[in-house]
Amino acid sequence: CMKEIIQPLLDTENGLVKELERFLSQRDVAELRRRELQHKRWTERVWIPIQRKVEEHVSSCSPVELKRRQSLYTHYIHHCNAKGFVFLDTYDLREYNPFLLNITTPHYLKLSTADFKDPFYLQLHESQKAKRRACSCEAGIFCL
C-alpha cells in the first residue's frame, strides 16, 4: 500500500533527475562550442592579421638587423633558461641588460586590436558602457 503511494513520486523524481542531467550536459556542450567559435573568430580577426603584419615586418628587415635581433633574443632566452625568470623592474646589469632590446629607430609597425574587431575587446567595452550607464542611472542622471 505504501509502495503504491511512493512509487509515482520516485518515478517523477527519477524523470526530473534524468531531465536535469540531460539539460546540464547539453549546456556544457553548448558552452564548449561557444568557446570554440569565439576562439575561431578571435584567431581569424586578430591573430592571423597580427601574424601577417609581423611576418611582413620581419621579412622587410635587412639581414644584418635580423642577425642582431636574433642574437639579442638568443641571449634573452639563454638568460631566461639559466635564471628561470626575468623581471623588468628588478634586474642585474652584470647578468642581463633588458634595455639592449630598446631600438632607437622609430617604430613603423603599430597594431591595435580594435582595428581587427576583437570580440574580447568589444565585449569588455560593452560591459564598461553598461556599468557607466548603471552608475549614471543610480546617480539620477538621465540615460538612454
How far is the CA of 64 from the CAs of 40, 48, 58, 60, in angstroms?
Answer: 37, 27, 12, 12
CA separation for the pair 52, 105 (Å, rounded): 22
Cell of 116: 581587427
Cell of 41: 573568430
Task: Give per-residue pLDDT as tens, 42-84.
Answer: 999 999 999 999 888 888 888 888 888 888 888 888 877 877 6
Question: Which pLDDT score is estimated for 135?
Answer: 72
Selection from 98, 69, 94 nearest residue 86 by Cα: 98
**3-state secondary structure (DSSP) of residue 56:** helix
Query: The whole model's pTM is what?
Result: 0.40
Question: Which pLDDT score is estimated for 80?
Answer: 78
**3-state secondary structure (DSSP) of residue 9:** helix
**3-state secondary structure (DSSP) of residue 32:** helix
Selection from 45, 46, 69 nearest residue 57 by Cα: 69
**CA 138, chain centre distance (Å):** 32
